[in-house]
Structure 1
Amino acid sequence: MYKTPGFIDVTASDGHVLSAWCAGPPAATRSLVVVQEIFGVNHYVRSVCQKLADLGYRVIAPALFDRVSRGYERGYSREEAQEGMAIRRQLDEALALDDILAAAALLPGRKGIIGFCMGGALCWQAASRSTAFDAAVGWYGTGIAADLDARLNCPVQLHYGDKDHAIPLEDALQVRNARPDVEVFIYEAGHGFGCTERASYVEPAATLAWQRSLAFFDRHMDGKP
């Protein structure tokens, strides 16, 4: 049984050992992988894990940047964002997905995945390139409009801001129009609107997006935990 909450070691299929924040009841009937932004498994990501753990989920947040910079964790200044983007450019997304799947393999019960920014894009990949999850939710995930032909293996819900500097509104609309099988919601907000520690936080949009995300998991993961 893992000590919770806290960091544990996860071994990926290629032998890489990464850290992951783990929280929630070890015997939960439902579990979630939380996929980080470019700022690492920082205080905000850990707070999201605790929010979900308090609802009864077993939760794990793999430190995907460990392959480039072990223990990376930053705040939200312009300089830190630039540093995070530089590390993301060095990250092999196929290996990041392997790390996500290795973390998911440690979870009990039915499994979902939720991610933010970079993590939102990786949720789309996890839903289309694996069969590990029963539901996937991505918040302001970049690059999805370039992967519209993906074959999804579980239900997916996506959240966008209409003033996102990183994702043109046209991309969000393109995803919504091209994929009627995907729930797509667009809010009056910019990038990172759900993060309580960013200047771009928009409480009404974040609250509604959380309500929709949790209801989505309820619908596709056999009722409330």
Structure 2
Amino acid sequence: MGETIRLTSRFDGFEFEAYHAKPTDARRGGLLLIQEIFGVTDHIRELCDGFAEDGYETIAPAFYDRLERGFAADYSPEAIQKGVQHSQATPWEQVVGDAQAAIDALQAPVFVTGYCWGGAATWLVACRGMGVAAASAFYGRRISELVDETPRCPTILHFGKADASIPMEKVDEMREKHPDLPIYLYEAGHGFNSDRRADYHPDSARLGRLRTLQLFALNGAGRSEI
């Protein structure tokens, strides 16, 4: 359904690729969808296509293009390690600049969602990005690095109760820092939204998606002709 486009980062002027999926019917809004550590994979493109079917013009930037053009890893231990290395070599300031380029390319209202590394990046964009109507972050382990920052827009967080990489103490810290922030817990582990991962939990994935779409609907998503 989608196509590859090029965007220019607001951070350093770097030109990078992004997957772009347009709705085929009435448009509800724009959506920045942020990848896991694995890059813009088939799974990420499928998520973009799914949101486009729901009426959201969706862009998924290739945040690792400076390190490796077209990076899309599988789920082997070697690929996971490489994805972790790429994520650690990608500064948050750069992420904000790349994300802003995608936001600016979309017509308001613009929403943000992301998974894993992208969950933390979603939190970051909600805190520092301009022109974001609402954000929905899934199992962002590195949110704990950014917990002292405050979102500028309505934001919700999703975590699996059995996620070994995100102890409940970290989630409790987020609650203490942001007592009014909706945090949803699921009977699942890390990566429960991805049907490519061992922790995939269909019921939790459906519920998380429903809550995300409800958040968007409450914060400006509407229907207009393309």
Same fold (TM > 0.5) = yes
CA distance in 2, matches of 1:148, 1:99: 21
How many Å apart are 1:68 and its aligned residue? 1.1
Whichever residue aligns with residue 110 of structure 1, its letter is: P
Distance 1:224 1:186 in 2: 30
Aligned: 1:25 with 2:23: yes
Q: Which residue of 6, 25, 40 maps to 1:9?
A: 6
User: Does the 8 Å CA contact 2:100/2:130 hold for their aligned counterparts?
Assistant: no
5+ residue gaps, structure 1, are none
Which AA in structure 1 matches 2:20? C
The equivalences for 1:1-225 within 5 A come to 5-13=2-10, 14-25=12-23, 28-223=27-222
- Displacement of 1:174 after TM fit? 2.2
Aligned Cα root-mean-square deviation (Å): 1.7
Contact 2:139-2:191 at 8 Å conserved across structures: yes
Paired residue secondary structure (1:66): coil
**Secondary structure of residue in 1 paired with 2:87:** helix
1:162 touches 1:190 (CA, 8 Å); kept in 2? yes
8 Å Cα contact 1:193-1:206 kept in structure 2: yes
Q: CA deviation at 1:217?
A: 0.9
Provide TM-score, normalisation by structure 2: 0.93
Q: Which moves more between the two structures, 52-61 or 127-136?
A: 127-136
Work out the number of aligned pairs and report it: 222
Cα 1:151/1:70, change in 2 over 3 Å: same
Q: Distance in 2 between matches of 1:173 and 1:65?
A: 31
Distance 1:145 1:87 in 2: 19
Residue identity in the other structure for 1:21: Y
Deviations 1:7-60 (A, max 9, x none): 001111222010000001398351100000010000000010011000111000
Shift of 1:212: 0.8
Name the aligned partner's letter for residue 19 of structure 1: E
% identical aligned pairs: 36
Report if the CA contact (8 A) 2:113-2:122 is conserved.
yes
Structure 2 unaligned segments of length 5 or more: list them. Answer: none
State which drifts further: 190-199 or 138-147.
138-147
CA distance in 2, matches of 1:180, 1:217: 21
Cα distance between partner residues in 1 of 2:223 and 2:196: 28
TM-score, normalised relative to structure 1: 0.93
Q: How many angstroms does 1:173 deviate by?
A: 2.4
1:42 and 1:142 map into 2 onto residues whose CA distance is 20
Distance 1:157 1:84 in 2: 25
Q: Which runs of 4+ in 1 moved over 6 A?
A: none
Query: What SS does the aligned partner of 2:163 have?
Result: coil
